[in-house]
């Protein structure tokens, strides 16, 4: 997709819809993990579900620095592609894939070695089961990285359809293996982890095969795999702040997960299934964030500055509609949707079930979830333009630091789940407001000056 010409809204939607479908498919497959152990596990089903669901924040803490580099790779390739510089695209692709392989191996080693002591520090109520799941999961991390970096390259040139197809194939394999390994062979947590690793291998092989067979400038050739210093610098300039932001965000989420762990296994399971359900809304909004980043990058590379500015507002309007519609729809049917994951009648000392705890979280998160999407879209636009440190600092202060302070002050004074979950919408609203102010005061004036200096008509303006 050439994002530098044509009407913006149709192209944003064409870019986003396969991404939304990809994200929803991935979450359906993740939901299958939770649903299979919640309904077919041979051991304690709530414990198995809590073990899998409680590892997400810790996994993200270890992975996000390197996943942020895939954002940098996408921006590097998109900008060169928009400028029509095939040689720079070639170098960006090979640097990104080499970096993916190295990153995947590094994360796998760190995750396998340190997962159990970190789970103990978090006070995880199912440490042994969770550690077993994480060790197997991290064996597939090199393949996970290769898929994500490869998919980021395809998105950089406007291709969101093929990653959807590859994800669908890998996800079907994941579900089939889940049922076989858990329901038939009784492997429970181990079975879910093995199925996840297998699906990661399949998706990585498919996306790399696609890159090696294409005839375009993003063609991957094994003999050319190496780190190009200039491209690495560009990737790190955008990707490292993005990755650090993601990992530091995960620290606040780890603290929140640790706080939830104190309410017991049923509360942890309820929090986990609600978080999985929220993911369907988040991944749909995140597709617009990816669109904002890629449209800004390609159009900046092409010198279409007016389209860069317009794409910001088109993406903000799009994500607001998606967030409000999906967030409130999922909240309305929350009880029924949560029951798919776990319909166990078991209650705790407060006479609350897994579904009750899940609804408590959804009540605070979903009605205003669009604020999270708005926040991310402005961040994506700023990174596409070339700002990465500024949105990192704002996000870490307005969301991460805010939540940490909230936990040690407000939550400490009133240690309830309602108090804990309230920190999310408040931090989204605060951070979105500051990001928007940064765009208006810093990025927009820079774009106007750049447009005046280029002195060329916008190539998409007359189309």
Is residue 218 a contact partner of residue 157, using CB atoms and an 8 Å limit?
yes
pTM recorded for the entire structure: 0.72
Asked if residue 289 belongs to a domain, the reply is: yes
State the Cα–Cα distance between residues 167 and 161, nearest whole angstrom.
10
Give the total number of structural domains in the chain: 1
In a domain, 463, yes or no: no
In the DSSP assignment, the letter for residue 42 is S
The count of other CB atoms within 10 Å of the CB of residue 222 is: 9
Distance CA 26, CA 170 (A): 9
pLDDT (tens digit, 0 to 9) for every residue of the chain, 463 residues total? 677 788 899 999 988 888 888 778 777 776 677 777 766 666 666 677 677 766 766 777 777 777 778 888 888 898 898 888 999 999 999 999 999 999 999 999 998 998 888 888 877 666 777 888 889 999 999 999 999 999 999 988 888 889 889 988 998 898 889 888 887 787 878 888 899 899 999 999 999 999 999 988 999 999 999 999 999 998 888 888 877 777 766 677 778 888 888 888 888 888 888 988 888 898 899 889 989 988 988 888 888 888 889 999 999 999 999 999 999 999 999 999 888 877 777 777 777 888 899 999 999 999 999 999 999 999 989 988 888 888 888 988 887 889 889 999 999 999 999 999 999 999 999 999 999 999 999 888 888 888 888 765 444 443 3
* Confidence (pLDDT) at 57: 67
Residue 359: inside a domain: yes
Q: What's the confidence (pLDDT) of residue 126?
A: 65
Q: Give the integer Cα–Cα distance in Å for 5 and 16.
A: 17
| Whether the Cβ atoms of residue 66 and residue 243 lie closer than 8 Å to each other | yes
Count CA within 13 A, CB hemisphere, residue 456. 11
Residue 392 backbone phi and psi in degrees, to 5: -65, -50
The answer to whether 55 and 270 are in contact (CB under 8 A) is no
Long-range Cβ pairs for the range 115-120 (8 Å, 24+): 115/58, 118/58, 119/55, 119/58
Alpha helices in 333-463 (DSSP H): 334-341, 354-365, 370-385, 389-395, 402-408, 410-413, 417-438, 444-454
Task: Tell me what pLDDT residue 364 has.
Answer: 94
Residue pair 143/123 in contact (Cβ under 8 Å)? The answer is no
**Residue 359 burial (CB < 10 Å; 0-12/13-18/19+)?**
middle
Residue 461 located in a structural domain: no
pLDDT at 261: 84
Cα(280)–Cα(19) distance, integer angstroms? 12
Q: Is residue 123 part of a domain?
A: yes
Two tokens, residue 246: 């993601």
> Is residue 2 one of the residues assigned to a domain?
no
Q: Which domain holds residue 346?
A: 8-454
In this structure, the dihedral spanned by the alpha carbons of residues 444, 307, 4 and 297, taken in order and rounded to 10 degrees, is: 20
Q: CA-CA distance, 163 to 153, in Å (whole number)?
A: 10
- Please state, in angstroms and as integers, the Cα–Cα distance from residue 278 to each residue in 87, 168, 275, following that order: 41, 20, 5
Is residue 462, in this structure, part of any structural domain at all? no
Residue 281 covered by a domain: yes
431 Cα distance to chain centroid: 18
């Amino acid at each position: 997709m050439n994002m530098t010409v044509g009407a913006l809204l149709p192209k944003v939607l064409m870019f986003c819809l396969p991404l939304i479908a990809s994200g929803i498919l991935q979450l359906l497959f993740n939901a299958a993990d939770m649903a299979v152990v919640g309904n077919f596990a041979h051991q304690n089903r709530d414990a198995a579900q809590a073990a899998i669901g409680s590892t997400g924040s810790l996994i993200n803490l270890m992975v996000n620095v390197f996943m942020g580099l895939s954002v940098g790779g996408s921006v590097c390739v998109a900008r060169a592609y928009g400028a029509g510089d095939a040689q720079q695209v070639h170098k960006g692709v090979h640097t990104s894939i080499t970096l993916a392989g190295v990153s995947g191996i590094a994360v796998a080693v760190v995750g396998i070695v340190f997962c159990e002591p970190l789970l103990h520090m978090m006070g995880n109520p199912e440490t042994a089961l969770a550690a077993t799941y994480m060790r197997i999961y991290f064996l597939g991390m090199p393949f996970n990285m290769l898929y994500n970096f490869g998919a980021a390259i395809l998105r950089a040139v406007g291709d969101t359809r093929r990653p959807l197809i590859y994800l669908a194939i890998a996800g079907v394999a994941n579900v089939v293996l889940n049922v076989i390994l858990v329901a038939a062979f009784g492997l429970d947590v181990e079975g879910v982890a093995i199925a996840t690793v297998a699906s990661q291998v399949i998706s990585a092989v498919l996306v790399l095969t696609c890159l090696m067979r294409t005839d375009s400038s993003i063609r991957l050739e094994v003999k050319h795999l190496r780190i190009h210093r200039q491209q690495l610098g560009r990737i790190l300039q955008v990707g490292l702040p993005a990755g650090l932001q993601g990992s530091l965000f995960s620290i606040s989420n780890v603290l929140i997960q640790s706080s939830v762990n104190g309410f017991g296994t049923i509360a942890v399971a309820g929090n986990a299934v609600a978080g999985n359900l929220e993911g369907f809304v988040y991944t749909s909004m995140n597709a617009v964030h990816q669109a904002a980043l890629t449209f800004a990058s390609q159009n900046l590379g092409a010198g279409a500055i007016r389209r860069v500015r317009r794409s910001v507002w088109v993406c903000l309007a799009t994500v607001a509609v998606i967030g409000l519609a999906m967030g409130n729809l999922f909240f309305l049917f929350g009880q029924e949707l949560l029951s798919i994951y776990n319909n166990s009648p078991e209650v705790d000392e407060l006479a609350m079930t897994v579904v009750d705890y899940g609804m408590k979280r959804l009540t605070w998160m979903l009605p205003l979830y669009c604020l999270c999407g708005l926040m991310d879209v402005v961040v994506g636009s700023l990174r596409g333009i070339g700002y990465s440190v500024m949105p990192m600092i704002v996000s870490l202060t307005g969301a991460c630091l805010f939540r940490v302070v909230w936990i040690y002050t407000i939550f400490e004074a009133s240690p309830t789940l309602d108090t804990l979950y309230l920190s999310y919408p408040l931090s989204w609203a605060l951070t979105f407001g500051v990001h928007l102010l940064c765009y208006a005061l810093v990025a927009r004036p820079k774009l106007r000056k750049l447009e005046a200096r280029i002195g060329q008509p916008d190539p998409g303006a007359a189309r």
